[in-house]
Each structure stands twice: as C-alpha cells, then as structure tokens.
Amino acid sequence: MSKNDRPGADDSSRALASMTGFGEAHGQTDRLAVAVEVRTINSRHYKLSLRASEGYSALEPEIDAAIRSRFRRGTVQMNLRVSRLNQADDFRINAEVLQGYHKQLEVIGVAGAAVPLDALLTLPGVVSEQGSAGVDARAAWPQIEPIVLAAIDEVCQMRLREGQALADDLSANCGVIAAQLAGIEERSPSVTSSYRDRLTERVNKAMSDLNVTVEPSDLLREVALFADRSDISEEVVRLRHHIEQFNAALADPAISGKKLEFIAQEMGRETNTIGSKANDTEISKRVVEIKTALERIREQVQNVE
C-alpha cells in the first residue's frame, strides 16, 4: 500500500479534523520488535515530543517529516520502543578473559575439565552483548517506518471521526445564530415605531400635566435621531455574511481552525454592536442566545486542526 493509498493520507484535508487523537501499531522483523504509540493534543502550533528507545532518537528528523505531512498543528507525543531480537552474532566471547579464569582455576588446583563450559560462560566478562552503541537507527528506518506510519494513520482516522462530530456541532450552533438573526431582522422595523408610540404617549402626558406644547417637528426629529442611532441593518447584513462564510468554511477541504476562530470573532463583534444599538428587549434576548451559541463555537474551534 502506497502512502497516498493509506486512509487519511492526503494530509487529513478531506474533512474537518480534530487535534486530539490516539493511535498505536506493533510490528516485528527478523531483527527488530517495534511498538509505536502516538497521542495528539490541542496546541496553537505544531510540536513533536518524541520518546524513543536508546539509540533511536536519531530518527527524529524522519519521524518529524512523516508527521508534518499529515498534521498542520497540535502537539504530537510519540513513544517509539524498539527491541533487538538477539542472534548469535550479537554476542562475543572474550577469549582473553576466559583464559584468565582457566589459569586461576589451575593455580588453585581445579582442572579446567572439571568445570562445565556453560558455568564458565556465565562468569563476568566472558560473554559480551552488542549494546545500543552499535545501533544504526537510520539503517533500521525502512523496517520501522511502516509501523510508525500505521500508528499515524490510526491517529488520523480518530481525528477525522472527532472532526465530523465537531463539524456537526459547529453547524448546529451556526444554525442557532442564523435563526436568532432572522428574528432580530424581523423585529427591527418595529423598534422605531414602538419608540415613537412610547415617546408620543410620554409627551402627551407631559403636555397634559404641565400644560406645555411640543411641536410635531420636534417629535419627528427625536424619532429620526433614535432611528438613526438604533439602525442595525448594516450589522445584520454583515453578521449574515459571516454566517455564510462560516458555513462555507466548514465545507472547505482546506479549512483550518484558525480561520474558523477568526470568523467567529468577527461574528461576535457584529453581535455586540447589534446588542448595544438595538435598545429593544426582544432583540436583546436574541442577542444573548447568539452570544451563547458563539461561546460554544469558540470553545469547539479550539479543537479544530
């Protein structure tokens, strides 16, 4: 199976991806037993944290390149355990040390033949094992790489599954915002007329109580000023546009969490302006609902790659 044929091998760009995931893979060759665990967590930037068996940390550049080709951001924690499967040429008999033990046995009057060979071989220094100092990690990379990639594939699949759940939740919250905005847009024209009615009632009462007169032109001017100050038509249009941008971004194969975060921030600004200008109880309630949905969106986009 080629790299491009593996599940999620196209940089997980076919769908929204979460930054959290876990994967593991195990494998064995004639010389090595390999176990790989990969865990990814949220982070604004990409970072690799590698723990490897002694001698195999030298593979970090190769592992980093493999991970960078799949993940755009997030902290990646990898645990690479490699065990050599012992073979005959991994051991060396130190003839000089063995002869030294033999001479000592002769000095104390013990015939060499009276001591079993397997007993001599267990004495300190007689047999030495090739240690990690002799490990050529890069020569072993062709055997290790498929297992590393299999673990990364598993992480990608988990991130994509979680990403789909994130996309569904983000889309639902965006729908809540759109519905509340539609209610605001419907209510907005009646805000000015409602203010005019309240103002007229208060003015008529003042005229009756205080025996004063108010010119109709003054009343109209006050209503016009209020209408100008409370006009939210531009903010409504911009917020609707941001909602469309957000939904389009969710469907974009190359979308990133940073872009979604930026759009959500712009949606918040327009919502705050609507709330401060509207001067209407019903619109204020809808603004609160929009802000609640936006807060959920902000929390969720922190998890998007």
Look at residue 173 and tell me whether its pLDDT is greater than 50.
yes
> Is 184 in contact with 279 (CB distance < 8 Å)?
no
pLDDT in tens, 124-147: 776 666 554 556 889 999 999 999
Helix, strand, coil shares of the chain, percent, nearest 5, are 65, 15, 25
Tokens describing residue 283 = 């619109």
Tell whether 232 and 189 lie within a shared domain.
yes
Distance CA 179, CA 173 (A): 10
> Is 40 in contact with 119 (CB distance < 8 Å)?
no
CATH number where 33 lies: 3.30.230
Residue range(s) defining the domain that contains residue 114: 89-127
pLDDT in tens, 213-243: 555 665 556 555 555 565 777 888 999 999 9
Of 8-17, 77-86, 162-171, 186-195, give the range with the top mean pLDDT: 162-171
One-character DSSP codes across 145-186 = HHHHHHHHHHHHHHHHHHHHHHHHHHHHHHHHHHHHHHHHHH
> Is 290 in contact with 268 (CB distance < 8 Å)?
no
Tokens describing residue 164 = 């789909």
Mean pLDDT of 192-216: 56
**Is residue 132 included in any domain, yes or no?**
no
**Is residue 217 included in any domain, yes or no?**
yes
The predicted structure's pLDDT at residue 158: 95
Tell whether 94 and 47 lie within a shared domain.
no
Tell whether 33 and 123 lie within a shared domain.
no
Quote the number of domains for the chain: 3
Tell whether 69 and 100 lie within a shared domain.
no
Burial 65-80 (b: 16+ CB within 10 A, else e): ebbeebbbbbbbebbb
Distance CA 214, CA 204 (A): 9
Q: Which residue has the higher pLDDT, 64 or 109?
A: 64
Say what the pTM is.
0.67
Tell whether 152 and 16 lie within a shared domain.
yes
